[in-house]
Each structure stands twice: as structure tokens, then as C-alpha cells.
Structure 1
Amino acid sequence: MAKRKAPPAEAAPAPAKAARKEAGGKRRAPQDDEGPSTSGGGAVAAAHTVSGFKNKEKVLLLSSRGITYRFRHLMLDLGQLLPHGKKDAKLDTKSERGVINEVADMKGCTSVLYFEARKHKDLYLWVAKAPQGPSVKFHVTNVHTLEELKLSGNHLRGSRPVLSFDKNFDESPHLQLLKEMLTQVFAVPKRHHKSKPFFDHVTAFSVTDGRIWLRNYQVLPDPDKKRAAAGEGLTLVEVGPRACLQPIKMFAGSFGGPVIYENQEYVSPNTIRSMIKRQQQGKYVSKVQSRQDRKLHVAAHPLPRDELGDVFK
């Protein structure tokens, strides 16, 4: 006869589970609005929440069609300063800039640097917060890339910069807004996977004549060994790139919307070129007019006849 198998023994309930079962209560999830416990668990959770904050700022860099090589090199040089930036293909349209917000959404970017080239001569830079705004349009002049300058400075690629702003940024509201936008764009997020945990260069923004001057410097110890050993001597060596940004308009939305600031001192480069042509045209017209005036003067004032003029003929 086959032996009959004994029924399996039931597993004894865990002590905690048995205690909850006897008490007749259920395990309650901790609430966020609870005060700090006596054991310190609430303080630890709060500290963990604060330390777990992560800056997810990403910058989208793209340009329009017709951009020249110098302007493209400037965009690539700025991209080296932004390890948290993402590049995209050239934009085909020059009127419907709202498409850029959709591209930024697909790339997961919150800020946009859009380089718009006009007539293969002029460069405009859009700095916008996608998709709500605000946004600002700059006219970029005095462009110098890394290859042009041939400067001796050289810092780590992807290192976090020290942002330096001129005190003039605190004088007017629109400059305060520009300072905040530039800070969010050029400040590399902490512990970004493409950045290096070093501060070896300074990105400086200064305001002069209503324009923002962009410079990038490398931080080096002073050549004087005594000052370097004391930790006091530091020197700055310019790396590049250089650019001059003249604000034109600021909008409440992203790439459009109500105008919140307009630079009354801005003169478009097309107007400047037309004035130069008029001046050059005026020189030629003045020459032609002087010739005609000379002919009329000679005809109106003929020379008297000389009695000895025919002696040697």
C-alpha cells in the first residue's frame, strides 16, 4: 500500500503581521503633512528630499538656413561651454518660429538659443524659455571664435563655469530679467553626466553702451610662486569666444507675444548700410555738380583778350 502523504504544515505568521492581525488595524502610509517624529524620521526624509533636488535644465541650440561659417563656429563654441545643451538641424522657416517650441518639447529642453542669419551678413540671437516664455532678441556683433583669436587660454571641456555679472544688471528691470535668463542658460547643472566637477573658467557678462559683452576666461595660478603658494594669486587668461549682444526686443511669450521691452537706441544694419550708400552716392553727385558749376562759371566770366598773345604764333 502506498503511504499517505501528510498535509503540509502551515507557515507561522510573521510576528509583525500577527501583531497587526491581532490588533485588527492596517498599516497606514506616512503622510507628507505629518510633523517630525520623535525618532527623527521626518527630518531625515525632509533632508533627503532637499538633497535629492536635481536641476534638469537643458538648452537647445539650432540655427536658421543661410548661416555663415563664422556664425556657425560661434554657435559650436558656445555649445562647448554648455555640456547640458542639445543640437538640432537647421530650421527651414524664418517666419514661423513657434515650431521651435515643439522641437524643444521633443528634445526635453527648457531653454532655446536660436541663431538667425539674415542676408549672409547679420546675425540675430534668440534666447527663450520654452514653451511659456519670456524671450529676447539680440543683434550679435563683434564675433570672434576660438580659431580666430588664437588665445593661450585653455580650460577643461564640460567644466562648470563661474558666472560673473556686471553690477549694471541690477539697475533696470529688463537687465535683471536678462541676468536671470542668462544664468539659467549658461549655469551648468550640478552633477550633470557630461560635466566635470571643476571650476576652472569664468564666463563674464558686462554692460557697456547698452550692449552685453560676453567673455570667457581661464583661471590660472599666479606666475609668482610666493603668491601662488599662499593661495592668494590668481590670474585670468582669455579663452574665447567673444561676442557683443545688443538687445532689440523682449517678449512675454516664447518667440512672440506682447512686447515688454524695446530698445529705442537700436538701429538696424539695413538702415546703416543704406545711409553709407547715400553718402557714397552724394560724393559722386557733388563731383558732377562741381563740374557743371565750373563750366557755367567759365562761360559767364570769359578772359579779356591779350594784345601780346599772338606774338609767338
Structure 2
Amino acid sequence: MAKKRKQSEPKSSDPSAKEEELIAPTRPERTLSGYKHKIKVADHPQEEEKQNDSPFFRNKEKILVTCSRRINFRYRHLMLNVVSVLPHCKKDNKVESKESKGATLNELVELRNCSSCLFFECRKQKDLYLWMAKCPNGPSVKFLVNAVHTMEELKLTGNHLKGSRPILTFSSNFDENPHWKLLKEIIVQIFGIPKDHRKAKPYHDHVFVFSIVDDHIWFRNYQISVPHNETDKVDRGGLEKMTLVEVGPRFCLNPIKIFGGSFGGPTLYENPLYISPNQIRALEKKKKAGKYAKKVKAKKRRRMHEETNQLEPDEFADIWKD
């Protein structure tokens, strides 16, 4: 019979040694901006010093884009245009626009591993509201969307590469009041495409323009075009020859309220100049009904005049009867 081989390293009988082998080393906590406690490099202390000296921020922003049920076809096309312009967004199914939509949207954002949300809410198949929210802690903004023009109906000549990163430009009005500064920061975080995103191209060839006119935010999208031959390279001195060609879409945002939480919470700002579209439609109906009201008033005035100024009896009435 074959003999058993001798074990070179006898197994230790201590139970504490076995427990040490089973226990894995603790991992540092991970956040959106990196590791909270950085990994220690025992063999290379110089690398550890470099990590501490040069902290970095990695943008991991992801946006959930969805809409409410019974949305108009024009507003749905606008949402699809926004999705095509933002490569770091994710689409989801329609959500019922009720009072409890905030909890539903926050849960959807968490399930899809996103950090922000764009919610297109349509009321009465006429009015479009846009929610911009940082989930799940806020803040969030509610806008009324006006002057909507999609890419399909404009038929503009501009055409930029899909997935390229935009340059965000803002008018100087955004630095005047604190609520405009907050809106600017929210727009930068939502519309700013991360540099190392897998669906984003590593260069810029179009511009997002946000400008404030009459207390409204106007959005435009322009392509950066440089006239040159295919064989010749563009000189740095020739940047003055660049022109902007509009791509679309176009829309105007009228801020209604800014909330401290996500889709609700304490009101940080309320627009005093905002008038709801229902009030505007009611005033228009009153103007149209004003013609009938004028006729009724004129008839009442004639009756009052006849009662106060009665005619004297006619002397020749009996003669004419005979």
C-alpha cells in the first residue's frame, strides 16, 4: 500500500488564527465624489502623499427624464428632443401626475441609480410644466413652459454630433439675485454632461444658451461651425471666423416656485409676477362675453329711461280710431 505524504506545514490548532484568515480587510466608504477615506498604499508612501495633495472630483451625474400621462404629442416631441441632446439621461415610463407623484419619482430615481430628475407634467392637454429636481434631498424648481418649438417643426440647418458635450453660457442677469444664482447652479448640474461618460464624446461642438428676458429663461441650442477645407487644419488665430447655427429645440421657462425638498417641501422662492394659464383663459372668456353683457345693459337702460320719461297721452288718438 502507498504511504501517506508528510505535510510540510502542520496546521495550527489555534481557532483565533482561522478567524483572522476568514475576516476580510475593511473597504473605505464610497461616495459620488470618490472615496471618503482613501486607500493606504503601504508599499509606496509617495503615491499616498500624491493622492492626499491632489484631491479630484469625478462627475457622476445621471438624469431621469419622464413625463405624465395624457401628454400632448408636441410636448412629447420636445421631451424626446431634450433626451437626444443629453446623452447622460435615462428615460422611464409615464407617471400619473397626482399629489403623491413626488414619492413615486424619488423611488424611480433611486431604482435607476440617478441623482436628478426632469419631469414634464401636462395639465388639461394644454399647459406644460417642467420640474427640475435634485433627488432625494432637493432643491426642486417648477417651471411653466411657453413658446415651445421642436426640432421637427423648425427645420433649422444646424446639425451637431449626437453625444457631444455642450458649452453652457448664461447671461449676466443670473448673478443679480440669489434665486437666479440657485437656478443657474441647478441648470449647470443637470445640463452639464460629465466628461468621462461612456455615451459622451470628448469634445465640444455646440452651445447651450440660457438668457433671462422679462423674468423668463429662454433656451437656445447652437452648433459651432468653422468654414474651412477638409485638408486644411483650423488655426487658432482663425477662431474669429466661427459662426453659430441654431439647431433647436426652443422653449421658454417661467419659474413658478423653488422648493427646499424634492418635488415639495418648504417654499424658498415664489414668483410674484406669475399668472396661471387658467386665470388668463378666464379673462379671455369674460372679454368674449362682454358683447352680450353690453346689449343686456343697454336694454335695461332703455327700460329705465322709458319708465322715468313717460309720454303724454295723444290728443288725436280717438280721432284716428274713428
TM-score, normalized by the shorter chain, greater than 0.5: yes
1:66 counterpart = 2:70:
yes
Q: Give the corresponding residue for 2:256.
A: 248
CA offsets 1:139-172 (integer angstroms, 9 cap, x no match) = 0000000001110001011100000011110101
1:111 counterpart = 2:116:
yes
1:231 counterpart = 2:227:
no
Q: Give the corresponding residue for 1:26.
A: none
Structure 1: 4+ residue segments shifted above 6 A: 2-10, 294-302
CA distance in 1, matches of 2:38, 2:201: 35
Which of 293, 296, 302 is matched with 1:285 structurally?
Answer: 293
SS at match of 1:198: strand
> What does 1:1-313 align with in structure 2 at a 5 Å threshold?
40-46=46-52, 50=56, 53-97=57-101, 98-222=103-227, 230-232=237-239, 233-290=241-298
Q: Give the corresponding residue for 2:13.
A: none
Alignment check: 8 A CA contact 1:125 1:139 kept: yes
Name the aligned partner's letter for residue 86 of structure 2: L
Name the aligned partner's letter for residue 182 of structure 1: I
1:222 Cα deviation from its structure 2 partner:
4.8
1:221 Cα deviation from its structure 2 partner:
1.4
1:81 Cα deviation from its structure 2 partner:
1.2
Q: How many residues align?
A: 278
Name the aligned partner's letter for residue 270 of structure 1: N
CA distance in 2, matches of 1:5, 1:186: 71
- Cα gap change, 1:8 to 1:146, in 2 (>3 Å): same
- Cα gap change, 1:273 to 1:42, in 2 (>3 Å): same
Where structure 1 has 5 or more consecutive residues not aligned to the other structure, the ranges are 11-30, 306-313
Q: TM-score of the superposition, structure 2-length normalised?
A: 0.77
SS at match of 1:183: helix
CA distance in 2, matches of 1:116, 1:285: 37
SS at match of 2:238: coil
1:9 Cα deviation from its structure 2 partner:
8.9
CA distance in 2, matches of 1:159, 1:33: 34
CA offsets 1:32-67 (integer angstroms, 9 cap, x no match) = 699xx99843344447863xx431100000001111
CA distance in 2, matches of 1:3, 1:131: 69
1:178 Cα deviation from its structure 2 partner:
0.4
Q: TM-score of the superposition, structure 1-length normalised?
A: 0.79
Give the CA RMSD over aligned residues.
3.4
SS at match of 1:160: strand
Work out the percentage of aligned pairs sharing the same amino acid: 49
CA distance in 2, matches of 1:264, 1:214: 22
Alignment check: 8 A CA contact 1:160 1:195 kept: yes
Where structure 2 has 5 or more consecutive residues not aligned to the other structure, the ranges are 10-36, 315-322
